[in-house]
Chain A
Amino acid sequence: MSMENTEKKDKFLAGLMKNPTADTVGNQQQLREEAYKAIHSLNFPTLKDERWKYTRVAGILKKDFEHKPGDVPESLTGFEIPDYKSDVLVFVNGIFNNELSHVEKQNGIHVLTLAQGKVEHYDVIDKWMGTIADHHSHIFTAMNTAFHKSGVLIYAEKKAIAQHPVHIIDITNGEGVTHAPRNLFVAEDDAGLKITHSFHGDAGENFINGVNEVYLGRHAEVEYQMIQQNGKKSNHIHSTDVYQSEGSTFTSGAFTVGGKLIRNEINVSVNGENCETRLNGSFMGGDKHHFDNHTIIDHLVPLCNSHENYKGILGGKATGVFNGKVFVRKDAQKINAFQSNQNILLSDDAVINSKPELEIYADDVKCSHGSTTGQLDEEALFYLMSRGMKKTDAINLLVNAFTAETLEYVSAEALSNYISALIEKRSDELNNQYA
């Protein structure tokens, strides 16, 4: 790294390090220090890094970001999901808001802020935190690990199945704000959790650097749906790192309808037989948005299924990236892995970099991957219009139909309807960027 870059990095980190948080219970402080050391030996990625070939983060480094409080909304109108009964945890600029949050007590299910969790369930935290996400070689994960101030612990004891989902609402507002949500979701053997995580923001430039660690015990089921309605100048890097034990099912969705630079990473380590892994998402960008989905499913053992389906819709001068990698390790026989990325470009200037990858070291597997990119089906558009539909309605209908598959594994109807409505609204916004 050049001298100039080192200076930039130090200056950038100085902003993040103001008013640092320290941990006093268990080995959490040690984890922060490890991560802090790693940051100094790691470089910020450039386009020369294979994993960051299509996503430039240099723009984030140029700006000064700080942890600072934001405006707390008076109510959750516009943030809550209609008809969706859930626990709600609200964070504004990464600061927990107790008044707007509510959690219903359930046997064997613990829903707390990370700060509370570090006291009340420090054993759980010590056992898992920092063991699934990689703070040694990923600089953004290391930064989150070193500097995070808040987050959520959701812990399901053995055989505890949550009766309703948890909705984490992350609101960011103001200029030059940064925060680093750190969440740990643990579902012990035979436990079940459903988590929805929504991001909201105003027009201020911000930088959110989130990490989720998810542990699934034997036969556990976790569904994690992320909805990004970030503001138009939001930079959001988020890593979801997952460990699956035998017979477990992990389902995730990433629905991006806002933000300027979005990078979602999902890394799933499938380390037990008979697991199901489902990763889905839709990203819809316009203007000069840059939305990047990077996934790794690592099949370490035999007899598992994985299913991955991402859809992109890009207008204006937006750029999309899909890089999905599926590893099937030696002796991981009888793996069924399906991976698909389809995109629609609404304008001539929109770009997609799609890279589905399979690396297979076993011989008895069934894997398929594919990627298609095209324009909106003009013939279908004409057909719909010839029946009296307005062009905007026809486009919305086609966009909704195109993304519908990615909602297949959203289990709650209210949530699915909510996401569909967001997609339609976004489609309306992108309509005027349709060339």
Chain B
Amino acid sequence: MIKIKNLHAEIEGNKILNGVNLEINAGEIHAIMGPNGSGKSTLASVLAGREEYEVTRGEVELMGENLLDLEPNERAAAGVFLAFQYPVEIPGVSNMNFLKTALKSIKEFKGEKPYTAKEFLQMVKKNQELVGLSGRLANRSVNEGFSGGEKKRNEIFQMAMLDPKFAILDETDSGLDIDALKTVADGVNQLKSPEKSFLLITHYQRLLDYIVPDFVHVLHKGQIVKTGPKELALELEEKGYDWLKEDGVEA
């Protein structure tokens, strides 16, 4: 599904990613853990196409296509989805209008027929239920006045609507109470399929109790320093990240 090879990226001259190598096959769920400042969110941003980050070396292939050449909207059309750590509030833009336009663009990009109004509404209804997002919120401006949990639910709702092939969840668990966390995890688990891949970025092991990863990677100083099965997450929870501090740098 996705192949990340020797990826280096920087922002304003600060090197953040220093050669990330990662391959995720279709149907797999990978988790990236690591201390603050290790480059987790940068990796998510670079994959989604955030402009501020400059890729200085390396490549990323999504199903054989060079992802780094694509604009963020083209990446979305190719099947990449990023659930934001901090979803943006956009006053005056209705959630529905935005999703309708986004879906239309994606369909257009793929040369497919747009959904009919009826199909769209059916999808909205189904996916709202999936993530427990009330219709009242769906009709408001994008994320405006939403609580932290509502914003995260809205991210998963959008993910369900856009039906991506490769979804990155950037600290989706942060700021969620246990009920919201379960709902979000349920949503992800129901969307899971042999054709889809997920990359979970998280600081804590907690999310991985509900979404079970196939592999866990530890990111440190912009590199993957350890990879293991799901049990690695538990080990990290126990040991923390102190063992990474071999050179005395605050982790």
Identify the A interface with B (CB < 8 A).
Answer: 377-380, 382-391, 393-394, 397-398, 400-402, 404-405
Q: Is B149 in the interface zone, CB < 8 Å from A?
A: no
CA distance A238 to B173 in the complex (A): 56
Contact (Cβ within 8 A) A385 B76: yes
Closest Cβ of chain B to A107, distance in Å, is 41
CA distance A354 to B87 in the complex (A): 31
User: Which of B19-27, B59-67, B100-108, B241-249 contacts the other chain?
Assistant: B100-108
Contact (Cβ within 8 A) A401 B93: yes
Residues of A within 8 A of B76 (CB): 385-388
Q: Is B34 in the interface zone, CB < 8 Å from A?
A: no
Residues of A within 8 A of B135 (CB): none
CA distance A400 to B84 in the complex (A): 24
Closest Cβ of chain A to B97, distance in Å, is 8
Contact (Cβ within 8 A) B101 A393: yes
Contact (Cβ within 8 A) B73 A389: yes
CA distance A382 to B142 in the complex (A): 14
Question: Which of the residues A377, A380, A388 comes within 8 Å of B73, measured between beta carbons?
Answer: A388
CA distance A400 to B98 in the complex (A): 12
Residues of B within 8 A of A401 (CB): 90-93, 141
Closest Cβ of chain A to B189, distance in Å, is 22
Say whether, besides A382-B51, A397-B98, A387 and B88 are in contact (CB < 8 Å): no
Say whether, besides A384-B102, A387-B158, A388-B105, A398 and B90 are in contact (CB < 8 Å): yes
Q: Is B57 in the interface zone, CB < 8 Å from A?
A: no
Closest Cβ of chain A to B145, distance in Å, is 15
Contact (Cβ within 8 A) A386 B105: no
Given contacts A377-B88, A382-B50, 18 further A-B contacts (CB under 8 A): A382-B72, A383-B84, A383-B90, A384-B90, A384-B93, A385-B49, A385-B73, A386-B48, A386-B84, A387-B76, A387-B102, A388-B162, A389-B102, A390-B105, A391-B71, A393-B101, A397-B93, A398-B90
Say whether, besides A390-B105, A393-B101, A385 and B72 are in contact (CB < 8 Å): yes
CA distance A401 to B92 in the complex (A): 4
CA distance A400 to B92 in the complex (A): 8
Residues of A within 8 A of B106 (CB): 388
Closest Cβ of chain B to A44, distance in Å, is 41
- Chain B 164-194, CB-CB to A under 8 Å as 1, else 0, gives 0000000000000000000000000000000
Contact (Cβ within 8 A) B90 A387: no
Residues of B within 8 A of A383 (CB): 84, 87-88, 90, 142
Residue of A nearest to B90 (CB): A380
Q: Is B201 in the interface zone, CB < 8 Å from A?
A: no
Which of B34-82 touch A at CB < 8 Å?
48-51, 71-73, 75-77, 81-82
Q: Is B4 in the interface zone, CB < 8 Å from A?
A: no
Question: Which of the residues B51, B91, B101 comes within 8 Å of A389, measured between beta carbons?
Answer: B101
Contact (Cβ within 8 A) B99 A405: no
CA distance A402 to B162 in the complex (A): 26
Residues of B within 8 A of A387 (CB): 73, 76, 98-99, 102, 158, 162
Contact (Cβ within 8 A) B71 A385: yes
Contact (Cβ within 8 A) B73 A390: yes
Residues of B within 8 A of A377 (CB): 88, 90
Residues of A within 8 A of B98 (CB): 384, 387, 389, 397
Q: Is B109 in the interface zone, CB < 8 Å from A?
A: yes
Question: Which of the residues A379, A386, A397, A398 comes within 8 Å of B72, measured between beta carbons?
Answer: A386
CA distance A378 to B52 in the complex (A): 10
Can you list 27 residue pairs at the A/B interface with Cβ under 8 Å? A377-B90, A380-B88, A382-B49, A384-B93, A384-B102, A385-B76, A386-B72, A386-B73, A386-B82, A386-B84, A387-B73, A387-B102, A388-B73, A388-B103, A388-B105, A388-B106, A388-B162, A389-B101, A389-B102, A389-B105, A393-B101, A398-B90, A400-B92, A401-B92, A401-B93, A402-B92, A404-B92
CA distance A386 to B162 in the complex (A): 11
CA distance A379 to B72 in the complex (A): 12
Closest Cβ of chain B to A210, distance in Å, is 31
Residue of A nearest to B158 (CB): A387
CA distance A386 to B93 in the complex (A): 16
Contact (Cβ within 8 A) A386 B92: no
Closest 7 CB pairs of A and B: A401-B92, A388-B76, A388-B106, A385-B72, A387-B102, A383-B88, A388-B102
Residues of A within 8 A of B90 (CB): 377, 380, 383-384, 398, 401
Closest Cβ of chain A to B82, distance in Å, is 6
Residues of B within 8 A of A400 (CB): 92-93
Residue of B nearest to A387 (CB): B102
Residues of A within 8 A of B72 (CB): 382, 385-386
Residues of B within 8 A of A378 (CB): 51
From B49, B98, B103, residue with most partner A Cβ within 10 Å:
B98
Closest Cβ of chain A to B65, distance in Å, is 16
From A388, A391, A400, residue with most partner B Cβ within 10 Å:
A388
